[in-house]
A and B are shown apart, each in its own frame.
Chain A
């Protein structure tokens, strides 16, 4: 299945953070979501074959990478208190946002 690391992370305001995701075997699309407490996931962006394939309403300080093995990173610069959330990645076997997505367990980020 989809795995993410680390499980939990504590950072201070202004710092930078990198979160990692390994997609399910055979899946070549990875999407990232931010889930604030008590809310639904918010789409950040999606990568297909190392190219950004869609982006939500998040500022440029949220950036990503997808590697040849289809794993992915989410980087957030200049952390703000409101960035505290559960970050979820999801992989899917096809291209585009209408393919079934399978979520990882998430990384809980706390910004102090």
Chain B
């Protein structure tokens, strides 16, 4: 089945700097890759997603890149702010009924220091 790894597990940056989180996946049939932000005690919230027919997607300060050949995708946050502090999860899905096909990474705890 699909396996998603995520690095780093913790990340501290100064306010205004950029943050990059990388995920790798194992199932070449995966075709949908969302990123979720989860603040302490709150629900995961979708911040950006990308599908396998696209290499990069941007939304203001947030961007995601996908390398299908290498089977990895990355989240880029520019001009970080203290409110960006949270746990970020990547996920991969192949969108059919074959086994465990929506898999989350273990998460990255991002701390933005003022």
Contact = CB atoms under 8 A, between A and B. Distances in A.
Interface of A: 2, 31, 33, 38-43, 46, 53-57, 88, 96-98, 100-106
Contacts of A98: 31-32, 51, 93-95
A95 to B, nearest CB: 9
Using C-beta atoms within 8 Å of the partner chain, give the interface range for chain B.
Answer: 20 to 34
Contacts of B106: 39-40
B43 A31 contact: no
Given A39-B106, A40-B106, A97-B96, 11 more contacts: A41-B44, A41-B104, A43-B102, A46-B102, A54-B101, A55-B97, A88-B43, A98-B93, A98-B94, A98-B95, A104-B43
Nearest to B30: A98
Contacts of A46: 102
Contacts of B1: 57
A39 B6 CA distance: 12
A100 B49 contact: yes
Contact of A97 (B44, B101, B105, B107): B101
B28 to A, nearest CB: 15
Contacts of B89: 40-41
B101 to A, nearest CB: 6
| Ranked 8 nearest A-B pairs via Cβ | A40-B104, A98-B95, A98-B32, A56-B100, A97-B93, A103-B43, A43-B102, A97-B102
Contacts of A38: 107
Nearest to A89: B43
A39 B43 CA distance: 14
A103 B44 CA distance: 6
B104 A97 contact: no
28 contacts: A40-B89, A40-B91, A40-B104, A40-B107, A41-B44, A41-B104, A42-B104, A43-B102, A53-B97, A54-B96, A54-B101, A57-B99, A57-B100, A88-B43, A96-B96, A97-B32, A97-B93, A97-B95, A97-B96, A97-B102, A98-B51, A98-B95, A100-B34, A100-B46, A100-B49, A101-B34, A103-B36, A105-B43
